[in-house]
């Protein structure tokens, strides 16, 4: 377990060193809190706005203490349009979860082949993976649309699974490679001395050790897939619509929409936020690998 | 951070022990490549096919509204891309965005990571707060920035100015007066958590025993930082900077939502989008996309092979 | 930690199976939904949102046809529609298009003509559709390709109470100069109130919708009949200078970003005394929860050299040529654009929310007039007198009042509008903006001159 608290060292100065450290800890704490609150303010304001009625959300100056209402959320769940958000949410979940799993299945062995037992030209392979992210998504929309149309794969959630996997695989490979490179040589040598093949080594030695790293990578892939808008909008129609597309449906150029959209944004971001908060210390722990002793 | 191991052919490969050193080596090579192949083949199939299409379309004259005039255009589209003043200024804007956003979020992210590396009351909570911007759907977040924060009539910023400085407080029109800055601020807000996560991870993996020893030996905190922490962090800073740059170059939602590309804020992805969907000039848009790829590859190659230590093996 | 990992993996796998099971039905290309369905792609304006709400209990109950909607904001929906229709992907049967796209799409063979359906459906009462609307949805080959869902022109909306308090009277057919003078007098009439709200947001359909009408009535035009571009001609310059100076002097805060929504908000919150924009805004201003309900007066779009200057615009339904459910599509259109639907909205949602501006019968409906009386007459007049073929003082090469009906216009209009917004923000001069615009327009004209 990483420890970052400094144990008070008994020095000749004794108390004053300790109180000096407490002072600096206090300053650090205050600074961190201030910055943290600044960063979260837009989100808190979004939450507040989502609980206001439309006219209240658009007053000048902003009315912080307007009466709270769940109108926005009711609207998200279909009070205004009669349509339910659940199909979109389920589609998003399917696309995100499946693509994340596929990314892990593909990236962990690949990262193994780029770090622990690297292929000869591992730098070129790494660069290739990175280069697939250099074509602007907007430029790739048309060819992918035409290919999907030709293959009859429009409006199909599995098309999105494939696209999202290809979107996140390079990052996953880069990240997993960094984690795998931290696996201690001794453990691997011990495994191979025991006669373990690749799958065995991966399963019983490597994966448990980099599990926090896997958690970190899968969370990031999940976030990127869940929030993806451009491909979802272009490639889906009535059946495979995802949550972000459903959300943009509330942004209208002919009326007030702020409270509705904030409510929709909170609702749509909720799964990601829950996953993020639950996993976030696994996330940091995982990204660090200081756990390995 | 230790990098790739280079075990020699002898260290316990599962290659069949058939005779001939070179056969063994070839078998060993393929055994090493095998885990990589699924991912590699998948990526080649899914990304290179569309890219080849984009390349082909970039040499065509294809406007969606004139379907009977589709034909070969040679390098005309590329010429159009390089002579179009909007595209040229978009290139410059993209560079400005990438440099400023990546640098700012790296610096702020590093600062916050350093703070979060120390223990204080509620550290977990602050860490959670700092991650939140990264979890919110970007489109929604930028809508909030545009309408709930920046709006000069009913946005939070002007409302706060009113609250603190009275009803006659200055009420600037944030987006119209500082368009590029508005976009940069919102993107720094979005990407700092990403940088912070990676850097915090790096900080928490620094070799504590060595640092503890140095401190006991009397090194000042500044010396510890400069000669031990920072070199250890270099890999992480470069990784965060590289990944962040790749994403920020492609950023589209912020420009689309906050300014609709007006007031000089249009970057390359946005310009490509307008060429596709306003002008319906598929050939020119594809050519612009190819130009972006080539330029990014050139810059990234230069950065990775010369400046960066990411590809070097210790 | 190992146990967490394993339990987490099992949990994740279980969740995955559950969701895959639910969404498994979602796989499969081609138009979704069962046999008896129709897929509609539409913009998410308030009138369409009401349509969504009322479909299940009315249309689906009557005909048994399920309607699968996709709603998107205007810019997004235009992009998706153009991609869908240009590739004839067949994902949607009906889409909401405007009188700008329909003639162009029809020429490219992307739409199915509706004349046969209209002939076989007398209950639809095509004759009731306002003439300018129907004409604008007819293509060059004389066939009808769209049915309006709601139509709009533009007019001037003003706070009756504010003007009265300041002793200002609004003439019946104001000129732009008169409007500018009134804006000056009404500026500051109430705390935080500016004289007038005019759009400034970049976009060919944003700032250039009202601005082109101002250009028309000042005697300017984008192109003359022989395709000579006239963007930096004296009339266009005069109109643009007038518009921008009026905004700078008495216009709303945040003008360079102000579109319809921002101005609607400003008008409702009492931040402006007047607003020149679409007639459909009146529905929101007179809605029950509007703070300015009953306080707004409506008068014809201000003029200078022409008799009228309101624009003509409609969101209309079009059927995709590649659609395999054209009969269902027509049944949907026939219901959504019918008189019966308007009555339904009036009774269930309120008469101010009726998708008006397309049928003459709406304007002789006593229930509608009781609630919408204030703006019904000016709206109907504005639409009836709009002439897309002759909106200004000189003949035009292509139809359109607030746009030029050529495929290149969205790109041209949006580019020039970026400079106009920059000019409003004070970052460019009007001359610079219009000179750049002239160059872009000349490039477009070059294609048509031969």
User: Where does the pLDDT of residue A120 fall: very low under 50, low under 70, confident under 90, or very high at 90 and above?
Assistant: confident
Query: Does any domain span residue B4?
Result: yes
Whether residue C303 is found in the same domain as residue C317: no
**Would you say residue C331 lies in a domain?**
yes
Q: Are C216 and C309 in contact (CB under 8 A)?
A: yes
> Looking at the structure, do residues C293 and C352 belong to the same domain, yes or no?
no
Same domain for C212 and C111 = no
Is residue B79 over pLDDT 50? yes
Q: What is the pLDDT of residues A241-280, one digit of tens each?
A: 999 999 888 888 777 788 888 888 899 888 888 877 777 6
DSSP string, A268-288: HHHHHHHHHHHHHHHHHHHHH
| Model pTM score | 0.86
Cβ burial of A69 (10 Å; 0-12, 13-18, 19+) is: middle
Tokens at residue C151, please? 């139509």
Does the pLDDT of residue C341 top 70, yes or no?
A: yes
3-class SS at A13? coil
Please check whether residues C419 and C353 belong to one and the same domain: no
C412-417 mean pLDDT = 92
Q: Is it the case that residue A154 has pLDDT exceeding 60?
A: yes
pLDDT at B19 exceeding the cut of 90: no
Task: Choose the final residue of a domain: C335, C358, C377.
Answer: C377
Same-domain status, C136 and C161: no
Domain CATH code at residue B92: 1.10.3720.10
Per-residue pLDDT tens for C349-369? 888 889 999 999 999 999 999
What CATH code is assigned to A86-287? 1.10.3720.10
User: How many domains does one find in chain B?
Assistant: 2
Most confident of A70-84, A263-277, B250-264, C215-229: C215-229
Query: What is the pLDDT at residue C254?
Result: 85
Determine the average pLDDT of the residues in A181-205: 78
pLDDT reported for residue C234: 95
d(CA C402, CA C388) in angstroms, rounded, equals: 9
User: Of C25-39, C93-107, C304-318, which gets the smallest average pLDDT?
Assistant: C25-39
Residues B149 and B53 grouped into a single domain: no
At residue C327 the predicted structure's pLDDT band, cuts being 50, 70 and 90, is very high
Please tell me the distance in Å from B159's CA to the nearest CA on chain C: 13
Per-domain boundaries in chain A = 2-76, 86-287
Q: Could you give phi then psi for residue C39, rounded to 5 degrees? A: -105, 125
Do A138 and B289 make contact, defined as CB atoms within 8 angstroms? yes
Q: Is C423 an 8 Å CB contact of chain B?
A: no
C341 and C295 in one domain?
Answer: no
Domain check: are C353 and C276 in the same one?
no
A-B contacts (CB, under 8 Å): 342
What is the structure's pLDDT at A166?
Answer: 94
Is the confidence at residue A140, as pLDDT, over 90?
Answer: no
Q: Is the pLDDT of residue C399 over 60?
A: yes
User: Does C229 share its domain with C369?
Assistant: no
Task: Check whether residue C417 and residue C271 sit in a common domain.
Answer: yes
C411 touches C203 (CB < 8 A): no
Q: What pLDDT does residue B2 have?
A: 39
**What is the average pLDDT value for chain C, to the nearest integer?**
89
Instruction: Please report whether residue C10 resides in a domain.
Output: no
Q: Specify whether B219 is located in the same domain as B146.
A: yes
pLDDT at A285: 62
Element of type H or E holding A36: helix A15-50
Distance (Å, whole) CA C114 – CA B75: 43
Q: What is the mean pLDDT of residues C396-423?
A: 92
- The pLDDT value recorded for residue B3 is 39
Q: Is C21 a residue whose pLDDT tops 50?
A: no
Q: Is the pLDDT of residue A108 over 50?
A: yes
Count of positions (residues) in chain B: 314
Q: Is B116 on the interface with A (CB under 8 A)?
A: yes
Over residues B151-174, the mean pLDDT reads 84
Q: Domain range for residue B287?
A: 80-313
More confident: C191 or C319: C319
Whole-number pLDDT of residue C34? 62
- In angstroms, the separation between the Cα of residue A82 and the nearest Cα of chain B is 22
pLDDT at B167 over 90: no
Phi-psi region of B123 (alpha: psi -120 to 50; beta: other; left: phi over 0): alpha
Question: Quick one: three-class SS letters along chain B?
Answer: CCCCCCCCCCCCCCCCCCCCHHHHHHHHHHHHHHHHHHHHHHHHHHHHHHHHHHHHHHCEECECCCHHHCEECCCHHHHHHHHCHHHHHHHHHHHHHHHHHHHHHHHHHHHHHHHHCCCCCCHHHHHHHHHHHHHCCHHHHHHHHHHHHCCCCCCHHHHHHHHHHCCCCCCCCHHHHCHHHHHHHHHHHHHHHHHHHHHHHHHCCCCHHHHHHHHHCCCCHHHHHHHHHHHHHHHHHHHHHHHHHHHHHCCCHHHHHHHCCCCCCCCHHHHHHHHHHCCCEHHHHHHHHHHHHHHHHHHHHHHHHHHCCCCCCC
With contact defined as 3+ CB pairs under 8 Å, the chains touching C are: A, B
Residue C394 lies in a domain: no
Residues whose CB is less than 8 angstroms from the CB of residue A104 and which lie 6 or more positions away in sequence, other chains included = A172, A214, A217, A218, A221
Residue-level pLDDT at B311:
64
The pair of three-digit structure tokens given for residue C244, joined into one six-digit string = 């921008």
| C434 part of a folded domain | yes
Residue A284's pLDDT band, with cuts at 50, 70 and 90, is: low
The whole domain housing C352 covers 30-151+313-377
Displacement of CA C260 from its chain's centroid (Å): 10
In a domain, residue B74? The reply is no
pLDDT at A283: 61
Which residue of B2, B197, B243 is in closest CB contact with A284? B197
Give the span between the Cα atoms of B2 and C290, in whole angstroms: 65
The answer as to whether B295 is a domain residue is: yes
Could you list the beta-strand ranges (E) of C246-379: 272-278, 296-300, 313-319
Q: Is residue B150 part of a domain?
A: yes
Cα–Cα distance, B159 to A64 (Å, whole number): 10
Report the number of distinct structural domains present in chain C: 2
Question: Is B281 in the same domain as B134?
Answer: yes
**Residues B111-137: what's their mean pLDDT?**
87
- Please name the member of A28, A49, A193 whose beta carbon is closest to the beta carbon of B12: A193
Is C3 a domain residue?
Answer: no
Q: Which of A113-122, A259-268, B6-15, C75-84 has the lowest mean pLDDT?
A: B6-15
Q: Which two tokens stand for residue C57?
A: 């209990």
Smallest CA–CA separation between C128 and chain A, in Å?
26
Residue C24 is assigned to a structural domain of this protein = no
Which residues of A fall within a CB distance of 8 Å from C44? 249-252
CB B244 within 8 A of CB A220: no
Percent of chain B topping pLDDT 90 = 29
Residue A176: pLDDT band (50, 70, 90) is confident
Q: Does B312 touch chain A (CB under 8 A)?
A: no
- Give me the mean pLDDT over the C291-307 stretch: 94
Nearest to C279 by CA among C314, C319, C320: C314
Enter the tokens of residue C383: 């639409």
Q: Do C293 and C158 share a structural domain? A: yes
List the structure tokens of A53.
């009625």
Is residue B72 a part of any domain in this protein?
no
Q: Are residues B86 and B174 in the same domain?
A: yes
Q: Do A98 and C16 touch (CB under 8 A)?
A: yes
Pair B98, B248: CB distance under 8 Å:
yes
In this predicted structure, what is the pLDDT of residue C288?
A: 82
In angstroms, the CA B235 to CA B313 distance is 12
- For residue A232, the chain C residues in CB contact (below 8 A) are none
Beta-carbon contacts of residue C352 (< 8 Å; ≥ 6 apart): C282, C283, C286, C287, C288, C371, C372
Q: Is the pLDDT of residue C2 over 50?
A: no
Residues C106 and C138 sit within 8 Å (Cβ to Cβ): no
Whether residue C265 has pLDDT greater than 60: yes
Choose the closest CB to A227 out of B6, B137, B311: B137
Q: How far is CA B240 from the centre of its chain?
A: 8
- Say if CB C2 and CB A208 are below 8 A apart: yes
What band does C184 get if pLDDT is binned at 50, 70 and 90? very high
The complex scores an ipTM of 0.82
DSSP state, residue C233:
S
Residues on chain B touching A214 (C-beta within 8 angstroms)? none
Q: What is the CATH number of the domain that holds C348?
A: 3.40.190.10
Closest-CA residue of B relative to A29 is B120
The answer to whether C131 touches A194, Cβ cutoff 8 Å, is no
Residues C321 and C305 occupy one common structural domain: no
Q: Which pLDDT value is given to residue C340?
A: 94
C3 — contact with chain A (CB < 8 Å)?
no
Give me C23's structure tokens.
């969404």
- Please check whether residues C301 and C415 belong to one and the same domain: yes
pLDDT value at residue C33: 53
| SS3 state at A136 | coil
Do residues B28 and B106 share a domain? no
Q: What is the mean pLDDT of chain A?
A: 82
Q: Do C269 and A255 touch (CB under 8 A)?
A: no
Measured between beta carbons, the chain C residues lying within 8 angstroms of A90 are 19, 22-23, 26
């Amino acid at each position: 377990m990483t420890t970052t608290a400094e144990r008070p060292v008994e020095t000749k100065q004794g108390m004053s060193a300790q109180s000096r450290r407490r002072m600096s800890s206090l300053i650090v704490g205050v600074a961190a809190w201030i910055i943290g609150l600044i960063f979260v303010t837009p989100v808190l304001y979004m939450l507040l706005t989502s609980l206001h009625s439309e006219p209240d959300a658009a007053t000048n100056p902003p009315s912080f203490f307007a009466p709270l209402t769940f109108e926005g959320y009711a609207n998200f769940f279909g009070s205004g349009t009669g349509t339910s958000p659940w199909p979109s949410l389920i589609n998003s979940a399917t696309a995100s979860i499946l693509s994340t799993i596929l990314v892990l299945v593909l990236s962990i062995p690949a990262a193994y082949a780029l770090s622990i037992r690297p292929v000869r030209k591992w730098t070129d392979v790494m660069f290739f993976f990175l280069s697939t992210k250099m074509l602007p998504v907007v430029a790739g929309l048309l060819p992918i649309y035409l290919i999907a149309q030709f293959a009859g794969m429009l409006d199909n959630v599995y098309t999105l699974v494939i696209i999202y996997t290809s979107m996140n695989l390079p990052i996953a490979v880069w990240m997993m490679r960094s984690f795998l490179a931290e696996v201690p040589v001794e453990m691997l040598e011990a495994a191979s001395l025991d006669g373990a093949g690749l799958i065995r080594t991966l399963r019983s030695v490597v994966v448990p050790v980099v599990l926090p790293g896997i958690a970190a990578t899968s969370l990031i892939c999940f976030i990127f897939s869940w929030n993806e808008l451009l491909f979802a909008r272009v490639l889906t129609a009535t059946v495979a619509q995802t949550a972000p597309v459903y959300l943009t449906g509330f942004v209208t150029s002919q009326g007030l929409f702020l409270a509705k959209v904030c409510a929709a944004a909170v609702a749509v971001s909720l799964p990601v936020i829950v996953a993020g908060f639950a996993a976030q210390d696994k996330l940091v722990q995982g990204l660090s690998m200081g756990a390995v002793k | 951070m230790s990098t790739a191991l280079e075990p020699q052919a002898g260290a316990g490969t599962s290659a069949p022990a058939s005779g001939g050193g070179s056969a063994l080596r070839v078998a060993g090579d393929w055994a090493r490549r095998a885990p990589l192949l699924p991912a590699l083949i998948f990526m080649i199939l899914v990304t290179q096919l569309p890219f080849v299409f984009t390349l082909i379309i970039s040499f065509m004259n294809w406007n969606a509204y004139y379907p009977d005039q589709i034909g070969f255009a040679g390098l005309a589209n590329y010429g159009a891309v390089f002579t179009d003043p909007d595209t040229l200024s978009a290139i410059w804007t993209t560079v400005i965005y990438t440099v400023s956003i990546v640098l700012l979020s790296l610096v702020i992210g590093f600062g916050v990571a350093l703070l979060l590396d120390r223990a204080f009351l509620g550290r977990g909570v602050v860490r959670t707060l700092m991650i939140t911007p990264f979890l919110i759907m970007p489109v929604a977040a930028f809508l909030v920035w545009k309408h709930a924060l920046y709006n000069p009539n009913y946005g939070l910023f002007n409302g706060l100015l009113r609250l603190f400085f009275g009803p006659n407080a200055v009420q600037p029109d944030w987006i119209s007066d500082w368009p590029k800055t508005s976009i940069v601020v919102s993107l720094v807000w979005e990407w700092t958590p990403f940088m912070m996560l990676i850097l915090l991870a790096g900080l928490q993996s620094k070799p504590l025993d060595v640092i503890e020893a140095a401190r006991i030996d009397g090194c000042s905190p500044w010396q510890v930082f400069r000669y031990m922490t920072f070199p250890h962090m270099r890999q992480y800073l470069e990784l965060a900077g590289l990944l962040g740059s790749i994403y920020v170059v492609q950023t589209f939602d912020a420009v689309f939502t906050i300014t609709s590309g007006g007031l000089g804020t249009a970057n390359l992805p946005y310009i490509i989008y307008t060429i596709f969907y306003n002008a319906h000039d598929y050939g020119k848009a594809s050519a612009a996309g190819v130009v972006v790829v080539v330029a990014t590859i050139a810059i990234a190659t230069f950065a990775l092979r010369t400046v960066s230590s990411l590809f070097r093996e210790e | 930690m190992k146990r967490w990992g394993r339990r987490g993996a099992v949990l994740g796998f279980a969740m995955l199976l559950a969701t895959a099971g639910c969404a498994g039905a979602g796989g499969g290309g081609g138009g979704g939904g069962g046999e008896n369905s129709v897929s509609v792609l539409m913009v998410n304006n308030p009138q369409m949102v009401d349509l969504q709400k009322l479909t299940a209990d009315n249309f689906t109950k009557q005909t048994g046809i399920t309607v699968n909607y996709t709603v998107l904001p205007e810019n997004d929906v235009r992009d998706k529609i153009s991609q869908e229709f240009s590739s004839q992907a067949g994902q949607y049967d009906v889409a909401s298009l405007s009188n700008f796209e329909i003639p162009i799409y029809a020429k490219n063979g992307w739409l199915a003509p509706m004349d046969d359906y209209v002939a076989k459906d007398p209950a639809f009462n095509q004759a009731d559709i306002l003439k300018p609307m129907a004409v604008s949805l007819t293509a060059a080959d004389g066939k009808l390709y769209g049915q309006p869902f709601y139509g709009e022109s533009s007019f001037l909306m003003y706070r009756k109470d504010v003007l009265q308090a300041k002793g200002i009277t609004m003439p019946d057919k104001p000129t732009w100069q008169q409007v500018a003078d009134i804006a000056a007098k009404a500026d500051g009439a109430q705390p935080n109130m500016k004289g007038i709200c005019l759009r400034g947001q970049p976009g060919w359909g944003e700032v250039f919708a009202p601005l082109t009408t101002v250009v028309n009535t000042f005697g300017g035009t984008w192109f003359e009949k022989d395709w000579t571009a006239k963007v930096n001609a004296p009339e266009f310059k005069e109109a643009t200078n007038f518009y921008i100076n009026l905004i700078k002097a008495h216009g709303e805060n945040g003008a360079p970003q102000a579109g319809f929504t921002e101005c609607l908000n400003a008008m409702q919150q009492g931040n402006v005394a007047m607003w020149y924009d679409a007639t459909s805004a009146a529905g929101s201003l007179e809605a029950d929860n509007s703070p300015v309900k009953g306080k707004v007066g409506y008068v014809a779009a201000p003029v200078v050299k022409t008799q009228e200057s309101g624009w003509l615009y409609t969101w209309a339904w079009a059927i995709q040529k590649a659609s395999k459910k054209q009969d269902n599509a027509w049944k949907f259109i026939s219901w959504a654009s019918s008189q019966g639907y308007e009555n339904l909205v009036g009774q269930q949602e309120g008469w101010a929310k009726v998708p008006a501006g397309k049928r003459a019968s709406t304007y002789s409906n006593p229930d509608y007039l009781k609630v919408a009386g204030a703006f019904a007459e000016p709206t109907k007049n504005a639409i009836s007198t709009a002439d897309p073929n002759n909106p200004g003082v000189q003949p035009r090469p292509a139809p359109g009042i607030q746009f030029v009906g050529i495929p290149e216009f969205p790109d041209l209009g949006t580019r020039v509008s970026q400079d106009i917004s920059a000019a409003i923000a004070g970052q460019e001069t009007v001359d610079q903006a219009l000179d750049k615009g002239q160059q872009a327009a000349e490039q477009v004209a070059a294609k048509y001159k031969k």
